[in-house]
Amino acid sequence: MFKRRRNEVLKVLLINGSPHKEGCTYTALCEVSEALNQNGIDTDIFWIGKKPLSGCIACKSCAKKKQCVFQDAVNEFLDIAGDYDGFVFGTPVHWGAAGGAITSFMDRAFYADLCGDGNRFLLKPAAAVVSARRAGTTATWDQINKYFALMQMPIISSRYWNIVHGAKPEEVKKDLEGMQTMRILGKNMAFFLHCKDLAIKAGLALPEQEQVTFTNFIRE
């Protein structure tokens, strides 16, 4: 059962999945972060960096190690993820999809948690933020949300899909509807977190977890 210490601050971790530390994706995440802060939620931004990130090699070492076999930003993230109450994953659009680095990052982070029975993300709210110069945003948004759905993470929405447009930060700031969407997203996540916190403090337990049942399409 999830328990919170009295007066413990609610915290959200925003993951910058762009190779640019303070580019367009970062600009969008900062707008979400500010709205969260204004509504009583502490925030940190985690940049995955620009070093190459290997994809998952399906070695399943994570089942024993409780983290990924590769020592890089993924394990740095897993080491602190349990301390946060919600997550916002930001990515640029590359070739009509999420960037390769953030895709590898999320593949490995969530798989390591799943195989290692970490429960770092169970029923913690999450949201995807997507930045593009022009197109590919909605397909990318759908792609990122699939991780949350599999990990039993409530998906937080805004009044539009969580996307911004611009080729550089100054242009993103001129996307007034996009920036408003980011602010509303932050407010909505803060509201959900406060509601969940009140429910837990009132004694409401998280749903009991069932043993996972795998059913293959092909059977012997």
Kindly report, residue by residue over 129-164, the tens digit of the pLDDT: 999 999 999 999 999 999 999 999 999 999 999 999
At 217, the pLDDT band (50, 70, 90 cuts) reads confident
At 8, the pLDDT band (50, 70, 90 cuts) reads confident
Residues recorded for the chain:
220
Nearest CA to 82 out of 66, 69, 95 is that of 66
CB 174 within 8 A of CB 31: no
Q: What is the rounded distance in angstroms from the CA atom of residue 198 to the CA atom of residue 54?
A: 40
Kindly report, residue by residue over 83-125, the tens digit of the pLDDT: 999 999 999 999 999 999 999 999 999 999 999 988 999 999 9
Indicate the pTM of the whole model. Answer: 0.94
DSSP-assigned letter for residue 13: E
pLDDT of residue 2: 34
Kindly report, residue by residue over 183-209, the tens digit of the pLDDT: 999 999 999 999 999 999 999 999 999
> Which spans in the chain are helix H?
24-38, 62-65, 73-81, 100-115, 137-150, 169-174, 176-201
Q: Tell me the domains of the chain and their CATH numbers.
A: 11-201 (3.40.50.360)
Distance of CA 179 to the CA centre of its chain: 18
